[in-house]
A and B are shown apart, each in its own frame.
Chain A
């Protein structure tokens, strides 16, 4: 298996632009998680899905952030409009529901820079 695939690896955008981050989970996994990593706040859970349904989005910082999972093999995290304080590394991870004992598999992350 190719693991969790995130794209793009790096994104530089101007303030006010729309940014879309993409994630392909491991085939067969039915839980998907979006995390944001910054020096100041560490790893923060933004939102997670079980069977393509959003379960907890309390970590989504503002209405500018939205996430979708239209099918079991694809998810997006969108920021519109982007701001410099959104600069961070965004990680996607997947697992099996009930498979928390096995931990998550993380993607390599998308480094977002908003200038």
Chain B
């Protein structure tokens, strides 16, 4: 069975600082990995995804993530935080097979202070 662990339910950074949100996964088959962002009172929006190929993937709003198979990790980073990045971030995994569901981590709330 697949699972996702997001380390740290709450991360606080200053504007302009590096953002690092941690995600570790468990999957018995090669996974597809995703990061979603949720702003207050809204649905989830896809930030970026890894399926196959290049292990460093770039997403919207300057975010990127690196798939590290040996560490079973898919950490999300952004070099310089902006106030508008304050939101909840979810890491998710699927088995990469047709028709299977995404399993989400519990989420990390990112706060950005000026």
For the complex, is A101 an interface residue (Cβ under 8 Å from B)? yes
State the main secondary structure of chain B at its contact with A.
loop
By a CB distance below 8 angstroms, the chain A residues around B42 are 108-109
Q: Is A106 a contact partner of B103 (Cβ separation < 8 A)? A: no
For the complex, is B46 an interface residue (Cβ under 8 Å from A)? yes
By a CB distance below 8 angstroms, the chain A residues around B104 are 35, 42-43, 45
In the assembled complex, the CB of B54 is this many whole angstroms from the nearest CB of chain A, namely: 13
Contacts A56-B101, A97-B98 given; does A43 touch B107 at CB 8 Å? yes
By a CB distance below 8 angstroms, the chain B residues around A91 are 43-44
Q: Is B34 a contact partner of A98 (Cβ separation < 8 A)? A: no
For the complex, is B80 an interface residue (Cβ under 8 Å from A)? no
Instruction: Map CB proximity to A onto B13-52 as digits: 1 under 8 Å, 0 otherwise.
Output: 0000000000000000000101010000011111001010
Q: Pick the residue among B43, B51, B101, B106 that contacts A42 (CB under 8 A).
A: B106
Which residue of the partner chain B has the closest CB to A103? B46
Q: Is B90 a contact partner of A100 (Cβ separation < 8 A)? A: no
By a CB distance below 8 angstroms, the chain B residues around A108 are 42-43
For the complex, is A66 an interface residue (Cβ under 8 Å from B)? no
Q: Which of A24-54 contact B (CB under 8 A)?
A: 31, 33, 35, 41-43, 45, 48, 50
